Chain A
Amino acid sequence: EVQLVESGGDFVQPGGSLRLSCAASGFTFSKYWMHWVRQAPGKGLEWVSRIRPDGYADYADSVKGRFIVSRDNAKNTQYLQMNSLRAEDTAVYYCGKDVHDVAMDVRGQGTTVTVS
């Protein structure tokens, strides 16, 4: 069974940094694109990033230049390094296993980032 467990969320001051992790199991992690999506309080879902098995990544304009997504295929883990954090980055962050394009399988409960 696919399992995705997000962690690393915390309270952080504006301008600060945080690294989120997504531990995967139940599938061959090294063969799949992985995504991050988020939901700010009272807002809708927002796509954040995706990373290819070889490390190539795409980002939403709202985080480009501030966030860096990476992965360790040996550890079956995806990371999201979040720098220069802003209040508008406050959200629950979910990771997803790619199905196709922006279709993804999201299994975890998310991890909460609060920038204040």
Chain B
Amino acid sequence: QSVLTQPPSVSAAPGQKVTISCSGGSSNIGNHYVAWYRHLPGTAPKLLIFDTYKRPSGIPDRFSGSKSGTSATLDITGLQTGDEADYYCAVWDDSLSAGVFGGGTKLTVL
């Protein structure tokens, strides 16, 4: 069981918006920056968001991150069928002195 809790799955129609949540605690999200990844098994995980809300070069502004207290959120707008993948939050945890990933959320674009 991860210290970060994500919903197992979310779904929305093409063109719509979806929100993926990541719930943690004071030793991780409450005190550190959050990263978000997109992953298709068998391929390299793709960094979407770092430092809670910043996008690496090449990541469209359809992807946005935010944080409030001990929870973080990834919003994806203008959904495309190509967005179907597993999405993970990640953060450093002071209690563990280690990085942690959420359990992952499978996004289905209906």
Contact = CB atoms under 8 A, between A and B. Distances in A.
Contacts of A71: none
Query: Most chain-B CB neighbours within 10 Å: which of A44, A59, A102, A109?
Result: A102
Interface stretch (B13-21, B45-53, B71-79): B45-53
Given A45-B45, A61-B98, A96-B45, 15 more contacts: A39-B39, A44-B86, A47-B98, A47-B99, A50-B99, A60-B96, A61-B96, A100-B33, A101-B33, A101-B92, A102-B100, A103-B47, A103-B51, A105-B47, A107-B44
Contacts, number: 81
A68 to B, nearest CB: 15
Contact of B41 (A39, A60, A106): A39
A54 interface: no
B60 interface: no
Contacts of A100: 33, 50-51
B98 A58 contact: yes
A47 B90 contact: yes
**Which range contains the number of A residues in contact with the other chain?**
20 to 34
State the majority secondary structure of interface residues on A.
strand
A101 B32 contact: yes
Interface residues of B, number: 31
Contacts of B98: 47, 58-61
Interface string B77-95: 0000000001010111000
A107 B56 CA distance: 14
Nearest to B37: A45
